[in-house]
Amino acid sequence: MATICRPAIAVPENVITMEETLDMAQRVHAGSPQLPLALRLITNTGVQKRHIIQPLEQTLAHPGFEIRNQIYEREAKRRVPPVIQQALANAEVTARDIDAIIYVSCTGFMMPSLTAWLINTMGFRSTTRQIPIAQLGCAAGAAAINRAHDFCVAHPQANVLVVACEFCSLCYQPTDGDIGSLLSDGLFGDAVGATVVRGQGGTGVRLERNAAYLIPDTEDWISYDVKDTGFHFRLDKRVPGTMEPLAPVLRDVARGHGWDAGNLDFYIIHAGGPRILDDLSKYLGVAPEEFRFSRATLTEYGNIASAVVLDSLGRMFDELRLDDGAQGMIAGFGPGITAEIAVGSWATPDTNAALERSLEAVVSA
């Protein structure tokens, strides 16, 4: 049974506070008629600070798409390997034990994927499968967990490394004054996360069922306009209301597993913004406190895109002392509008071994 182990997370050393964000917005976008509304929305996000790979003044100076992408590659090669090493140690495996690497990112582009460089430089086997995911945005973290689960179902003894590398600050566009762009300038942060999904053994969340759902005719609600200056983020004002149609989907996934989505032991939810969590609390009938890991990520790091679910999961590992079999849900939301959902239960090596023995007995009977 596939088990997602304790993630590793790292954020850059450069910090921008809420106060600095508001000051920057007023200074750079002083002429925008949308500025007063944007300042209110940024304040309401509750994001107290974010971490970015370059000092703020360098981030504000746009050197062009080519140089920004060079920065992305340089910083990814510098910052990803230490996080992977920690994730491998957390899972008690080595690079040689990994059968597939799922690499997710929507804030820079490399071909071949960073996975090829990682295999060549970090001791992974040359036969390691490469699964890069570049266009699922914030949903990609949960999607990567689900695809790792699928891989382990197909290859029960496999181990899959999931890596999320998001440098959202490289997508800042100082000439964009629409409300979606202004809000994103105060919401997104940079981070690298990694975790191992073990096909056998491990301590963590035993993944038991996953699903995906696309809200019809919403593909232009979250998007990039790709221009000479790079990725220009576009956000429709209807996005914050998407939890009303998605909450029943989460309920159906849990119900299909015999569980009640409103009565689980833990929740790891992508925190795109505070309203996402508020609405999900309302429509699932879950106490707001149950989403505290996601809220903490949002408050301390901002929206770190695909890395949110890994950071929130890591916070749960740090805080909760779960009983074997404790039930929970992981969900990420992103462009499409796409939802990636997983349900699973807490497991230790002993409980995993007992389950594997019982399954073997059933098969051999």
Annotated catalytic sites, by residue? 138
Percent of the chain that is helix, strand, coil (3-state, to 5): 45, 25, 30
**With b meaning 16 or more CB within 10 Å and e meaning fewer, what string describes 152-167?**
beeeeebbbbbbbbbb
- CA-CA distance, 333 to 218, in Å (whole number)? 12
Q: Which residues are within 8 A (CB) of 79 and not within 5 positions of it... i.e. 6 or more apart?
A: 10, 12, 53, 165, 192
CA–centroid distance for 13 within its chain: 20
Q: What is the dihedral of CA 165, 62, 12, 115, to 10 degrees?
A: 20
Residue 140 and residue 13: Cα distance in Å, rounded? Answer: 24
For residue 147, give every residue at least 6 positions away whose Cβ sits within 8 Å of its Cβ, in sequence order, or none.
102, 131, 133
In 3D space, the residue among 72, 323, 94, 341 whose CA is nearest the CA of residue 198 turns out to be 94
CA–CA dist 28, 21 (Å, integer): 10
Task: Tell which residue, 125, 135, 133, 194, has the closest CA to residue 164.
Answer: 194
Decide: helix, strand or coil at residue 349: helix
